[in-house]
A and B are shown apart, each in its own frame.
Chain A
């Protein structure tokens, strides 16, 4: 029988700790596929976040350092400034990048640091049990917005790609999703492009990935995938927000 798919070698033979239907597993696998296909195992250094992605070193067969909550882009800056020849990327959730680490992400982008941020947007704080994130939609119910997010109290969902697109230091910004096969293929292409641009020295790149969190959204996995298309992507439209020719 012809093998059409296999687990990437860089993905360790470990059980993911992610909940059923979670998008992190897909994103982890894509990252290792891309790094394997680009033959970057010996160059890649990943900065893991605080949040659902914090155990990446259990899954990735590449060098990983864990950053404090929100500080991924600053840690990645330090690494890249020492080792400009390495592929340096941070993996950050929405609370990590769009709330507690906004300053670090924003200014790394503004400096045009030649790093890549993999930004997983699932609209909630997953690891801590489903509290409101900066990206939670208006009226969306979370454990800290029990009657739905009210803009008077909690502001509006933050659109990172749009905000970062006006910074002169950013080189490539794309928002993708991992809720269906065609979207996953696009996500993989975006990650590949971001890494290639870093190798080419183009400057700061960020791939925002809309990712299902069925457990905290109180949905079934399929329903969660549909919800990304029908509801979430209206607030967070997919596409390339910036691509500076390099």
Chain B
């Protein structure tokens, strides 16, 4: 049954249907509808909702719930995400599953409450201290949350690692029709590592303090081996009109929605523009881009930031192709027509014949 829901509320419902039993959160716009939805929904679902005293407390409650074997989640936006980084680093170090939602707003500092994509670096580079990665999923619509949220809980449990859902203020607050009929609850994983009390088994401990540098190094390599495995197995992306494209737009999340509108207009004028939309920002679809670069020479990166994902595109293309960039930071949400104008200008410049050196 289709219902009209905000992205925040739909995300909460998808989490409950994915087996999330414990939610801890602290109010911050533009994700409050999620916290409020969980406050209403959790008790009836047999779960626990606690409004924590801070984002730091919330992420540590998530860590505690995860240590005890539960599927748990917290959510926030930019400034609150900065506070959660300490806990996310511990979750990664302790190899504990958790899902953390960031409905990104305009930053830095207090910024504003509009939609932005300026937390890409923080999300995809680990974000806290130490050598670690988080899986980062970037949904592009309210309906897509019904796939992204169970996937987030599944990957968290499967790899015992924190997973970030990187949305934005617009995705969180806009209302779209959504149905949950196709949502598949992720399977339960063995959690014999969880702390349940040393009943009928030896005592066990979960910690990240490893004084012996050699052992710490081995622990870090173990994490890295896991991250390489995730890179091999969990890349997800979507392409749009890419087969005959002469210019590929690279955009994610709500940015990709705006870009799609622009591409429709461009296609009406027979400009061969397509798109790749990374769904996993980490692991990044590096191979897919590299493959595209064999036939396409122009890549147009669009972000609602001053340019963060563009660095991953550069790394992926390894000097191949020509990278164009357009970004609007600060919570500005460009209209498709604006993007259409910019892309078409870049397209014509790229195809004005003979100006660029042959590669």
Q: Residues on A close to B: CB < 8 A? A: 41-45, 47-48, 54-55, 57, 60-68, 71, 74-83, 86-87, 103-104, 106-107, 111
Q: B198–A75 contact, CB under 8 A?
A: no
| CB contact between B54 and one of A42, A87, A103 (< 8 Å): that residue | A103
Q: A63–B203 contact, CB under 8 A?
A: yes
CA distance A57 to B67 in the complex (A): 15
Please name the residue on chain A nearest to B65 by beta carbon: A78
Q: B197–A78 contact, CB under 8 A?
A: no
Give chain A residues whose Cβ lies under 8 Å from the Cβ of B86.
68
**A82 with B69, Cβ < 8 A, contacts A66-B207, A74-B52, A77-B64 known:** yes
- Other than the known A43-B199, A62-B198, A65-B67, what 20 A-B pairs have Cβ atoms closer than 8 Å? A42-B198, A42-B199, A42-B200, A45-B197, A47-B64, A57-B205, A63-B203, A65-B206, A66-B205, A67-B60, A74-B52, A77-B57, A78-B60, A78-B61, A78-B63, A78-B64, A78-B67, A81-B64, A82-B64, A86-B68
Q: Is the interface of A mostly helix, strand, loop or mixed?
A: mixed
Q: A41–B65 contact, CB under 8 A?
A: no
| CB contact between B207 and one of A61, A64, A78, A107 (< 8 Å): that residue | A64
Please name the residue on chain A nearest to B62 by beta carbon: A78
How many chain B residues touch A (CB < 8 A): the figure is 41
Give chain B residues whose Cβ lies under 8 Å from the Cβ of A111.
50
Q: A75–B196 contact, CB under 8 A?
A: no
Q: A45–B65 contact, CB under 8 A?
A: no
Q: A71–B60 contact, CB under 8 A?
A: yes
Min Cβ gap A208→B in Å is 21
Min Cβ gap B205→A in Å is 4
| CB contact between A79 and one of B56, B68, B199, B209 (< 8 Å): that residue | B68
**A48 with B57, Cβ < 8 A, contacts A42-B200, A63-B197, A79-B65 known:** no
As a 0/1 sequence over residues 66 to 83 of chain B, the CB contacts with chain A under 8 angstroms (1 = contact) are: 111110100000000000
Q: B67–A75 contact, CB under 8 A?
A: yes
Please name the residue on chain A nearest to B71 by beta carbon: A82
Please name the residue on chain B nearest to A69 by beta carbon: B86
Q: A66–B209 contact, CB under 8 A?
A: yes
Give chain A residues whose Cβ lies under 8 Å from the Cβ of B94.
65
Please name the residue on chain A nearest to B205 by beta carbon: A57
As a 0/1 sequence over residues 208 to 227 of chain B, the CB contacts with chain A under 8 angstroms (1 = contact) are: 11000000000000000000
Q: A66–B208 contact, CB under 8 A?
A: yes
Please name the residue on chain B nearest to A90 by beta carbon: B64
Give chain B residues whose Cβ lies under 8 Å from the Cβ of A62.
197-198, 203
Q: B61–A57 contact, CB under 8 A?
A: no
Q: A81–B57 contact, CB under 8 A?
A: no
Give chain B residues whose Cβ lies under 8 Å from the Cβ of A80.
64
